[in-house]
Amino acid sequence: MDEMTNKNVEVDQFMAALDHPQKDTIEYLRAAVLGSDPGITEHVKWKAPSFLRGGEDRVTFQLRAKKGVQLIFHRGARVKDDRADFRFSDESGLLAWLSSDRATVIFQDLDDAKANEEAFVTLVRSWVNT
């Protein structure tokens, strides 16, 4: 980990080598996620930056998205026993639900990410603390 931030050198190296048409958007959203909560850390998982809270993956980039930049909001690598009862209130309206405890957010481009940054940061902060 960087001494001054919660950035990870492994992810820095991954991003330096990344050839992606939305790399600026990915870097912008990476900074937004890391800045949303000092307890969030990062690593590379599933060939993409993934963000952890309390040692558990919670938000992961999906870099193979056909359009825009996609992030998957989940509750860890393993399915939870309480997934049928899980409830999360998305006041941002940014989440598209994939299952009862897994959702996605897609930003079309950097302008879209910037326009929705405040709502996104609030969403990340709430999600990682559920």
CATH number at residue 56: 3.90.1150
Confidence of residue 80 (pLDDT cuts 50, 70, 90): low
Contact present, 29 and 36 (Cβ < 8 Å):
no
The domain total for the chain is: 1
Residue 14: what pLDDT?
A: 96
Mean pLDDT of the 50-73 span: 92
Q: What are phi and psi of 3, to 5 degrees?
A: -70, -30
Residue 52: what pLDDT?
A: 94
Residue 2: what pLDDT?
A: 44
Q: Is residue 2 part of a domain?
A: no
Quote the CA–CA distance of 3 and 59 in Å, as a whole number.
Answer: 23
Q: Is residue 62 part of a domain?
A: yes
| Burial environment of residue 128 by CB neighbours within 10 A (0 to 12, 13 to 18, 19 or more) | buried
Q: Is residue 29 part of a domain?
A: yes
Q: Is residue 71 part of a domain?
A: yes
Between 1 and 107, the higher pLDDT residue: 107
Q: Is residue 82 part of a domain?
A: yes
| Alpha carbon distances (Å) from 86 to 24, 89, 108 | 34, 10, 28
Q: Is residue 4 part of a domain?
A: no
Q: By residue range, what is the domain housing residue 95? A: 9-128
Q: What is the DSSP letter of 120?
A: H
Residue 113: what pLDDT?
A: 98
Residue 130: what pLDDT?
A: 81
Of 111, 116, 75, which Cα lies nearest the Cα of 94? 116
Residue 96 is which amino acid? A
Q: Is residue 1 part of a domain?
A: no
pTM of the prediction?
0.88
Number of helices followed by number of strands (H, E) in the chain: 4, 6
Dihedral of CA atoms 27, 33, 37, 43 in degrees, nearest 10, equals -80
Confidence of residue 88 (pLDDT cuts 50, 70, 90): confident
